[in-house]
Amino acid sequence: MVTSYLIPAVLAAQIIYNIYFRNNINNLYLNIFVAIYVGVIFSKFHGYSNSVCDNYFSSPIWGGNELTYWELVVFLILIVFPDWILILVGMVAAPVMLHIFKGGYGSMWCTIANFWAIYYLYAYS
C-alpha cells in the first residue's frame, strides 16, 4: 500500500506544489504533461518494493521498478524549476549515484532530497 499509493502521492504532490502553487504556472501543455507524468508515477511505483541485496546500502527499489536517468531529470525539473543551478547539480549527481550505488538509486535520491529539505527548513524558517 505504501509503495502503490503513498509514495506516488507524495511525489505527485511535490510536482503539483512547485508548478501550480509556488510558481503559479498555468499552461495547457504543461497541465497535460503533468497529468501524464503523475499517471506514470502511479503506474511505475504500483506494486511491492524489494531490496537490492548486493548493494552496500541495500536501498529498496520502490514498486519493483528503477527510475531511469531521464525520469529522474524530468522529476527534478518539475520539482525545482526555475532553479537551474540545482537542476544542473542534480543532472550531474544522478549519473554519479547510478554508478556508485548500482541499484536502489531512487531511494538514494530520496535520501539526498530529505537532507536538502532539512537544510531548507532551517535555512528559511
Q: Which range marks the domain in which residue 89 is found?
A: 2-123
Residues 40-89 pLDDT 10s: 888 877 665 555 555 555 566 665 667 777 888 888 888 888 888 888 98
Q: How far is residue 59 from each of residues 26, 50, 54, 64, 76, measured CA to CA in Å?
A: 36, 9, 10, 12, 20
CB-CB contact of 61 with 104 (8 Å)? yes
Location of C-alpha cell 499509493: 5
| The three grid cell numbers given for residue 98, joined into one nine-digit string | 547510478
Query: How many distinct structural domains can be found in the chain?
Result: 1
Q: Which of 37-46, 99-108, 111-120 is the least confident region?
A: 99-108
Non-local (6+) Cβ contacts of 114 within 8 A are none
How far apart are the C-alpha atoms of 111 and 62, rounded to whole Å?
Answer: 13
What confidence score (pLDDT) does residue 112 get? Answer: 72
Quote the pTM value. 0.70
| The three grid cell numbers given for residue 97, joined into one nine-digit string | 549515484
